[in-house]
Structure 1
Amino acid sequence: MPKLVLNRSIEDAILEEVSDGIPLAEACRKHGVGRTTIYDRRDADKEFAERLARARELGEDAILEETLDIADDATNDWMMRTGRDDEHDEQGVGWRLNGEHVQRSKLRVETRLKLLAVWNPKKFGSKVDVTSGGEQIKSADDISTMTRLASLAASLQGRIDEPSDDAE
């Protein structure tokens, strides 16, 4: 299929879809435009580059919101079990967890979150802020101290969570 020439209305349509969380490649395919055409346009036109960056930022937020929708949607998480003809069926009739659907939903959320972290690590990446009094830790000794403190905190947390024999 021949690629279309990029014009303002096609640019706007692609950027609108990107801002809705649609991947750029998918939006380009839909409108018959190659991704390299978009990248060339971005490199040649500062105003378009800013519009694309803004669309991507909005799209990232849309994807983040979508993860909440996926996580909160319990549709198909439970299935009615009709039982088998076998009278030794221990589970019988009733509701049972649809583990495959739950795992698929979990995968969909995790995939989106990992992509967001790759696309925009500053905003969505998991980072450990190893600071002391607001100042960055610079030396290996400081990092070693923080590691020991983290280990101590973890062991104390375990003690807090465990029931005490004295409490009885």
Structure 2
Amino acid sequence: MASPPKPKKAAPRAKRATKALDREKAIPVILAGVAAGKALDVVLKEDPTLPSPSTFWRWHMDDVKLRDNLARAREMGVEVHMDEALSIADTPMQGQIVTRKLDKDGNEYDEVRTEDMLGHRKLMIETRIKRAQMIAPRKYGPKLDVTSDGERIEMESTDVAVRLASIFAGIEKRRAGDGDDDAAG
């Protein structure tokens, strides 16, 4: 009777450096990488002395200051990405388009054209803009018109003054009314 097959061992995980940076030295390196526009996981994988992602996220959960600093670093990284988007838009990227064709005898051949990779550049730019919109929505998010249905609202300065006076009068009336309620109570 044959014995059951032994379970296969899981593939060994990539080893981190045996001498990892301590937390106080690792955090500035990580934040500098993120502020330079790199993705957090890329920063952590590039340097074997940095902690694993799970260790970093444990630090992140336990440290409010780290959370704030990571958010600021990401906002700085967004600025890097927006600069990159401009550079990508201004710089042609030559690439080859290979089309497999048949000649009149039925033999296959490759037709190669070299041209600007507009679709690829557009994808790179849109990806950076979408990321900027997610990380800094107030600055890069879509501008929503919730009041005028797209029409320009015209107001004369006298109309603005009358409207503001009305608002301030309402505020004063409420304040006076609140004072009466307190005295009566």
Partner of 2:94, secondary structure, is: coil
TM-superposed deviation, 1:49: 1.8
Distance 1:5 1:12 in 2: 11
Larger Rg: 2
Distance 2:42 2:21 in 1: 17
Distance 1:26 1:60 in 2: 16
TM-score scaled by length of structure 2 = 0.54
Please name the residue that 2:33 is paired with. Answer: 17
Seen in structure 2, the aligned counterparts of structure 1 residues 40 and 6 have a Cα distance that, compared at 3 Å, is farther
Distance 1:37 1:97 in 2: 46
Q: Deviations over 1:62-103 (max 9, x none)?
A: 1111101111112538x9xxxxxxxxxxxxxxxx9714x122
Distance 2:75 2:31 in 1: 11
Seen in structure 2, the aligned counterparts of structure 1 residues 39 and 6 have a Cα distance that, compared at 3 Å, is farther
The one-letter amino acid of 1:22's match is K
Q: Does 1:102 align with 2:118?
A: yes
Q: In terms of mean alpha carbon deviation, does 118-127 or 53-62 score higher?
A: 118-127
TM-superposed deviation, 1:55: 0.8
The one-letter amino acid of 2:64's match is K
Distance 1:6 1:113 in 2: 35
Distance 1:25 1:119 in 2: 16
TM-superposed deviation, 1:105: 0.8
Q: In terms of mean alpha carbon deviation, does 3-12 or 37-46 score higher?
A: 3-12
Partner of 1:74, secondary structure, is: coil
Gaps in structure 2 of 5+ consecutive residues: 1-13, 97-112, 153-185
Instruction: Assess if the C-alpha contact under 8 Å between 1:21 and 1:58 holds in 2.
Output: yes
RMSD (Å) for aligned C-alpha atoms: 2.7
Distance 1:26 1:105 in 2: 22
Q: In terms of mean alpha carbon deviation, does 48-57 or 12-21 score higher?
A: 48-57
Gaps in structure 1 of 5+ consecutive residues: 80-95, 133-145, 151-168
Distance 2:143 2:54 in 1: 32
Q: Does 1:52 align with 2:67?
A: no
Please name the residue that 2:140 is paired with. Answer: 124
Please name the residue that 1:69 is paired with. Answer: 87
- Share of identical aligned residues, percent? 29
Instruction: Assess if the C-alpha contact under 8 Å between 2:32 and 2:73 holds in 1.
Output: yes
TM-score scaled by length of structure 1 = 0.59
The one-letter amino acid of 2:83's match is E
TM-superposed deviation, 1:8: 1.9
Partner of 1:98, secondary structure, is: strand
Please name the residue that 2:99 is paired with. Answer: none
The one-letter amino acid of 2:124's match is R
Equivalent residues, number: 118
